[in-house]
Amino acid sequence: MRERVRRVVESRRFQRLIIAVILVNAVTLGLETSPWVLTRYTTELHIVDHVALYVFVAELLAKVYVYRLRFLRDPWNVFDALIVAFSFLPTAGGLSVLRALRVLRALRLISVVPSLRRVVSALLSAVPGMTSIVLLLGLVLYVAAVMGTKLYGTAAPEYFGDLPTSLFTLFQVMTGDGWSEITRDLMDTHPSAWLYFVVFVLICTFVVLNLFIAVVVSAMEEESREERNEDATVLAEVAALRAEIQGLRQTLIDP
């Protein structure tokens, strides 16, 4: 019985069914944000929502039945269980805001779709490499904020009046949001302000942020390489088994 349930749970049709349920549930949760739709189709939306929840619970129970304690050893299974558990949080009284957490079910696509799973695994494996880059970026922001506060705090207090304001302004500049307007406002009183901003943008946007991309791409390449190595190992084992079976057949035919 357990083997039969395992084949069903691991089959492609079952996985496609779960993906379809996740997508339909995500769409219905989005439709609930429309007052016009909600007032006309409240019952239908709630039925779809509850059916999707029951499907997810049944899937998790089936996996627990098949894998037993191994269920908890897979981080993706724990992730799925936590996402579904959010749906059972109380949604009455002061905790009604928790009802919005139901949309987290859409994140289950990450654990169901292999390509998304590889991307997330690569991002998580890149976290240690990102730590030093984050420290470097924080150091650059701090130094630039202190300099900006001392240089332009009097001329533009709305941008560089104090250290927290300067940090927020430079973060805005780093994202490319309206940095030219800030620069031109300062250049009315400090004509050389463009040099400060150009150097900051070059360091943060074209150097530090690109380092993030390089680390993530490197991690994804490493993830793909490991997957290819695993596939090659499996293929080699299959080839060895075929050769062994062929040898046994030959032995039986020609004793």
Tell me: do 71 and 177 sit in the same domain: no
Is the domain of 96 the same as that of 141? no
Highest mean pLDDT among 43-47, 117-121, 225-229: 43-47
Residue 74 structural domain: 2-112
Res 97: pLDDT: 53
Q: Are residues 25 and 58 in the same domain?
A: yes
- Over the stretch 198-220, which tens digit does the pLDDT of each residue have? 888 888 877 777 787 777 777 77
Question: Are residues 137 and 65 part of one domain?
Answer: no
Whether 146 shows a pLDDT value over 50: the answer reads yes
- Count the domains in the chain: 2
Residues 84 and 56: beta-carbon distance below 8 Å: yes
* pLDDT-based confidence at residue 52 (cuts at 50, 70, 90): confident
Give the Cα separation of 173 and 168 in Å (integer). 9
Instruction: Judge whether 152 and 170 are in contact, CB under 8 Å.
Output: no
Hey, what's the torsion of the CAs at 11, 12, 15, 17, to 10 degrees? -110
Per residue in 77-127, pLDDT (tens digit) is 888 888 888 777 665 444 445 556 667 777 777 777 777 777 777 777 777
Q: What's the pTM?
A: 0.61
Answer yes or no: do 7 and 100 share one domain: yes
CB 108 within 8 A of CB 56: yes
Give the Cα separation of 142 and 158 in Å (integer). 18
How many CB atoms are closer than 10 A to CB 171? Answer: 13
Q: Flag whether 104 is in a domain.
A: yes
